[in-house]
């Protein structure tokens, strides 16, 4: 009965959570942008909401968010992520340029392999989290967040101009191409591979988590990357603008279901994934965010990236706060809820994301807590609507990941 009560609560609370997220990124003025699948969503009964400056599907028809969430965990769903910004960087010094902007060892990447990394400001704060894929020695495919589009693109331009005017840049200038209006869809779930395999002669078993390839799919030659934001096996597929709707229709036949923002948010939180604007911002470093693993071993010694002074100091001395997972008793803790000592007399941190987990039937949350209180199993309190709720620090992901690693 506790699980059933949790799911009932989730149906009403997850929608509110998604709408809060959407408002956070809604444009202050001007019309919302539309992905190439806007009409496709409307035709399929989508409830459209503002998100990251775009009109995006929250849910479809009378399919509830719990049902959508569960379908991805058990079968396969498809998400429109065409609001994300897709870019190509090319040039003789493209590797060095991107290693200046990020703390990762991109030179060590093999062709058609990728890594999560972060763009850092001068103080080591996270401008955005991003996936960087190496295509060739001097060519990279980069995906950044829609909600950070203006900030990211202005940063890229500023730093490209600075780089190309420098001695290194003169050795080989770097070009930045924005793939405007290109489609991007995510096929996610334990049946994603078998469904996609039925549409291609390419052996998808060769494509392990974190790698990509150009794959022939029913006459289309598409960039397919194995990975995603749900913790399940899956693929992110980049599509030329003129083919986006056709490919989406091809990829959304049973057992595939269309999945909206509501389920995407609950899936990513169960998987321990950050949402920029909630769990990451420019005042947060990768060390505080538990993303130290994106910092290459050679970069820890040599530095050479923007924000290195702060980041390397925190690696040496430890940060003052750390990102943690929590299981909260009684009621879900939302973004902004204070994390307190068990007696409630000391403020220790803040919740950045929280939901009732459909998979676990428990209230889960992510947040930042004062170092020294961050060990797993530590009991703390959380202020939920002025009531002190018991919470236990829990390792993430909350739900075991099922990535295909071969």
Could you please state the CATH topology (level 3) that the domain comprising 37-82+182-270 is classified under: Gyrase A; domain 2 (3.30.1360)
> Quick one: pLDDT band at residue 62, thresholds 50, 70, 90?
very high
Q: Looking at the chain, which residues constitute the CATH 3.30.70.1400 domain(s)? A: 87-158
Give me the pLDDT at residue 79, please. Answer: 98
8 Å CB contact between 7 and 66: yes
Does residue 30 have a pLDDT over 80? Answer: no
Q: Looking at the chain, which residues constitute the CATH 2.40.30.110 domain(s)? A: 320-400
**267-281 pLDDT tens trace:** 999 999 999 999 999
Instruction: Return mean pLDDT, the chain.
Output: 93
Mean pLDDT value across residues 87-106: 98
Give me the pLDDT at residue 24, please. Answer: 45
pTM over cut 0.85: yes
Task: Choose which CATH entry (3.40.47.10, 2.60.40.10, 1.10.10.10, 2.40.30.110) describes domain 320-400.
Answer: 2.40.30.110
Supply φ then ψ for residue 356, to 5 degrees: -75, 125
- Across 137-246, where does the E strand assignment appear? 139-144, 175-178, 183-188, 212-217, 220-226, 234-239
**146-158 pLDDT tens trace:** 999 999 999 999 9
Question: d(Cα 235, Cα 224) in Å, to the nearest integer?
Answer: 6
DSSP SS3 for 173: coil
Mean pLDDT value across residues 212-239: 97
8 Å CB contact between 100 and 305: yes
Question: d(Cα 308, Cα 285) in Å, to the nearest integer?
Answer: 10
**For the chain, what percent of residues have pLDDT higher than 90?**
91
Question: d(Cα 334, Cα 325) in Å, to the nearest integer?
Answer: 13
> Quick one: pLDDT band at residue 25, thresholds 50, 70, 90?
very low
Question: d(Cα 281, Cα 369) in Å, to the nearest integer?
Answer: 16
The answer to whether the annotation marks 162 as part of a ligand binding site is: no
Does residue 20 have a pLDDT over 90? Answer: no
Give me the pLDDT at residue 208, please. Answer: 98
Write out the two tokens for 96. 């060095």
Longest dimension (CA), the chain: 67
**35-61 pLDDT tens trace:** 999 999 999 999 999 999 999 999 999
Q: Which residues contact 239 (CB under 8 A, 6 or more apart)?
A: 182, 183, 184, 185, 220, 222, 247, 248
Question: d(Cα 334, Cα 350) in Å, to the nearest integer?
Answer: 10
In the sheet that 126-136 helps form, which strands lie side by side, from edge to edge?
113-120, 126-136, 139-144, 85-90, 175-178
Is the domain defined by 87-158 classed in CATH 3.30.70.1400?
A: yes
Does residue 14 have a pLDDT over 80? Answer: no
């Amino acid at each position: 009965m506790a699980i059933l009560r949790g799911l009932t609560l989730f149906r009403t609370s997850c929608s509110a959570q998604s709408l809060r997220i959407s408002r956070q990124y809604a444009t202050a003025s001007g019309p919302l942008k539309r992905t190439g699948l806007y009409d496709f969503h409307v035709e399929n009964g989508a409830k459209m909401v503002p998100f990251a400056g775009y009109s995006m599907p929250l849910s479809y028809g009378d399919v509830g968010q719990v049902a959508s969430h569960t379908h991805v965990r058990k079968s396969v769903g498809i998400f429109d992520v065409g609001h994300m910004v897709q870019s190509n960087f090319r040039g003789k010094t493209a590797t060095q340029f991107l290693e200046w902007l990020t703390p990762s060892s991109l030179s060590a990447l093999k062709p058609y392999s990728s890594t999560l990394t972060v763009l850092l400001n001068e103080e080591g704060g996270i401008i955005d989290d991003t996936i960087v894929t190496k295509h060739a020695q001097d060519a990279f495919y980069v995906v950044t967040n829609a909600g950070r589009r203006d900030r990211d693109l202005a940063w890229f331009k500023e730093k490209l101009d600075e780089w190309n005017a420098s001695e290194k840049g003169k050795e080989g200038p770097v070009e930045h191409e924005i793939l405007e209006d290109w489609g991007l869809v995510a096929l996610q779930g334990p049946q994603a591979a078998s469904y996609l395999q039925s549409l291609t002669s390419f052996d998808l078993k060769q494509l392990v988590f974190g790698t990509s390839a150009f794959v022939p799919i029913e006459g289309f030659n598409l960039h397919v990357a194995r990975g995603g934001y749900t913790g399940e096996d899956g693929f992110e597929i980049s599509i030329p603008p003129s083919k986006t709707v056709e490919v989406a229709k091809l990829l959304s036949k049973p057992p595939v279901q269309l999945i909206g923002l509501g389920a995407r948010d609950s899936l990513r939180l169960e998987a321990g994934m950050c949402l920029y604007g909630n769990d990451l911002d420019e005042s947060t470093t990768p060390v505080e965010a538990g993303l130290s693993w994106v910092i290459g071993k050679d970069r820890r010694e040599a530095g050479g990236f923007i924000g290195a002074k702060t980041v390397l100091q925190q690696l040496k001395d430890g940060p003052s706060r750390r990102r943690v997972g929590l299981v909260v008793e009684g009621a879900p803790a939302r973004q902004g809820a204070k994390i307190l000592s068990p007696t409630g007399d000391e403020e220790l941190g803040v919740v950045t994301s929280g939901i009732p987990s459909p998979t676990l039937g428990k209230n889960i949350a992510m947040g930042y807590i004062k170092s020294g209180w961050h060990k797993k199993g530590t009991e703390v309190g959380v202020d939920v609507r002025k009531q002190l709720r018991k919470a236990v620090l829990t390792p993430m992901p909350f739900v075991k990941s099922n990535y295909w690693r071969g």
